[in-house]
Amino acid sequence: MNLLYRGSVKDIYKTDDGLLFKYSNRYSVFDWGEMPNEIPQKGEALAAMAGLFFDHLKDKGISSHYVKPHSADSILVNEVAVHRPAWENGVYDYTVYADKPTNCLVPLEVIFRILLGKGNSLEGRLKKNPAYMAELGLTEIPDSSKTFMPPIVEFSTKLESSDRYLTNKEIKDINVIDAHELAQVRKMTEDVAQHLQTLFASFGVKLWDGKFEYAFGGRGDNGRTLFMVDSIGPDELRLTYENAPLSKEFLRQIYAPTSWYQAVGKAKDMAKERGTNNWKEICANELRETPQLLNPEQIKVATMLYTSLANEMAWALGKTAPFEKEATLKNWRQQCASWL
């Protein structure tokens, strides 16, 4: 196997049968990349959940790059190319997509929102740009009390140093996907969100929002085909169980009150003003801020978050649970009750 890419959470290897996604125990929040701790058994739980999700969606008629499990912490997927935009003169150049390449990553992250929750970014962005409501099918700025099904669907960049939300005009301007394909992505996202909402509700979990990634397949009568790629799990979804954050939001809430998190926002603003994309260097070297270590109790509860969710999914789908039977959401909720 040849290592193609080492990410903040997973490593990607080239094999004779396709790509191998090896999930690590690393984690990432707020675009930082690899954080200073590891969460034991996280990689195994993410691999188990990815297989469960993609098999479940295949049964619902949603195609993906997933092939089969490979080991306890890895899965085999079909390979797609990744065409990264060039950074030139302070902007990203997406010319590589002008000729409509096939079998490659769509360079957009697709965000869906069923529930907004307090402090969501959408309300603030709509207040700054009310015209954006029409693109989302809204007639007024929503608040945290609203539920949306089909969900609100937004798009952001995927291959830039920091994600930025895109309007329909901005997507058209960078010319990475045509209007028909974009409509297909939106419809697939709505369908997947509904399938997942139903699955999670079957064992008492609430799905709030999430993000998906897609790839262009070959050309057909109606343009390029589309299918899901990357992974699906609590790092891509916002979930709650009995009002406790059952996703990467759990980790975000640990770091949100820290001075490092405040510095991340400041560093991104400074980088934007300077026309550069090296905000992490600004944060670490100029602002002297890096993320703190998790304490042992936080690590213990984080591990149980991932293992219990993987077990509950397996039981809901009639599969064998990958972890010890004591790893349940009920037990996890009791473990984190003392500090939530």
Tens-place pLDDT, residues 127-165: 899 989 999 989 888 877 789 999 999 999 999 887 899
The larger pLDDT score, comparing residue 301 to residue 336, is at 301
Average pLDDT of the segment spanning 256-267: 96
279 in any annotated domain: no
304 in any annotated domain: yes
268 in any annotated domain: no
Contacts 24+ apart (CB under 8 A), 263-269: 263/287, 263/289, 264/30, 264/31, 264/32, 264/289, 268/162
The larger pLDDT score, comparing residue 294 to residue 222, is at 294
Give kind and range of the element (H or E) at residue 16.
Answer: none
- How far apart are the two ends of the chain, measured CA to CA in Å? 43
Determine the Cα–Cα distance for residues 145 and 120; give it in Å rounded to an integer.
Answer: 12
Cis peptide before 150 (omega within 30 of 0): yes
**pLDDT at position 118 over 80:** no
Q: Pick from 49, 19, 109: which is nearest to 327 by CA? A: 49
277 in any annotated domain: no
Q: Pick from 184, 240, 180: which is nearest to 210 by CA? A: 240
Average pLDDT of the segment spanning 199-215: 97
Task: Dig out the tokens for 109 from the structure.
Answer: 């992250």
Over the Cα atoms of the chain, what is R_g? 20
Question: CB within 8 A of 141, min separation 6: which ones?
Answer: 123, 126, 127, 130, 133
Quick one: pLDDT band at residue 340, thresholds 50, 70, 90? Answer: low
Task: Dig out the tokens for 276 from the structure.
Answer: 């550069």
289 in any annotated domain: no
Give the pLDDT of residue 161.
80
**pLDDT at position 63 over 90:** yes
Number of structural domains (the chain) is 1
Tens-place pLDDT, residues 284-319: 999 999 999 999 999 999 999 999 999 999 999 999
Range of the domain at 316: 2-256+295-336
Q: Assign residue 194 the CATH number of its domain.
A: 3.30.470.20
273 in any annotated domain: no
Q: Full-prediction pTM beyond 0.85? A: yes
136 in any annotated domain: yes
Quick one: pLDDT band at residue 337, thresholds 50, 70, 90? Answer: confident
**pLDDT at position 78 over 80:** yes
Burial class, 326, CB count within 10 angstroms (exposed 0-12 / middle 13-18 / buried 19+): exposed
Task: Dig out the tokens for 46 from the structure.
Answer: 């993410």
Determine the Cα–Cα distance for residues 277 and 111; give it in Å rounded to an integer.
Answer: 23
Determine the Cα–Cα distance for residues 153 and 192; give it in Å rounded to an integer.
Answer: 12
Instruction: With beta carbons less than 8 A apart as the criterion, state whether 77 and 118 touch.
Output: no
271 in any annotated domain: no
Phi, psi angles (nearest 5°) of residue 333? -65, -35
Which range, of 16-20, 32-36, 114-118, averages the lowest pLDDT? Answer: 114-118
